[in-house]
């Protein structure tokens, strides 16, 4: 069961990859340290990193790559 969640700090479009032709920042099951980048949120054409604020193991992503996200919405489960 997820003990924590990683939340989007901003509303916008969520991206799991730094660029379309690059691998995702993190995948399900990856270990995450505090401050690790797990994705980007595009707000009005500017990009902001979404960082983990706790350490743990990344559970399921709750938002698909390139989907719309609201501020405070959960992006992924964090187990640990």
Partner 1 sequence: MREVRLLVANRGEIAVRIIRAAKELGFVTIQAHSRADADSLAVRLADEAVDIGPPQASKSYLKIEALLEAAKSTGATAVHPGYGFLAENADFADAVEAAGLAFIGPTGDAIRLMGDKVAARQAAAAAGVPTVPGSEGHVRTLHEARPVVARTGFPLMIKAAAGGGGRGIRIVRDEAEFERLLPQASAEAKAAFGDGGLYLEKVVERARHVEVQILGDGQHVVHLFERECSLQRRRQKVWEEAPSAGLSAAVRRKLCASAVALARAVNYRGAGTLEYLYDDQSHDFYFIEMNTRIQVEHPVTEMVTGIDLVREQLRVCLGQKLRHTQDQIRLHGHAIEVRLNAEDPARDFAPGPGTIDRLSLPGGPGVRFDSLLYAGYTVPPFYDSLLGKLIVWDEDRSHALARLARALGELEIGGVATTRALHLALAADPDVRAARYHTTWLERWLEENAARLAPATDRTGEVPTA
| Pairwise CA distance, residues 37 & 14, whole Å | 12
Min dist CB 56 to partner 1, Å, is 28
Min dist CB 21 to partner 1, Å, is 9
Among 35, 66, 72, 80, indicate the residue that binds partner 1 (CB under 8 A): 66
27: number of Cβ within 10 Å: 11
Q: Site map for partner 1, 5-34, x if CB under 8 A?
A: -----xxxx---------------------
């Amino acid at each position: 069961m997820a003990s924590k969640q990683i939340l989007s700090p901003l509303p916008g479009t969520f991206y799991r990859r730094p660029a379309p032709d690059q691998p995702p920042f993190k995948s399900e099951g990856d270990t995450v340290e505090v401050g690790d980048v797990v994705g980007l949120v595009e707000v009005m054409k500017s990009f902001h990193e979404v960082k983990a604020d706790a350490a743990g193991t990344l559970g399921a992503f709750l938002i698909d790559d390139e989907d719309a996200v609201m501020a405070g919405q959960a992006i992924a489960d964090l187990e640990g």
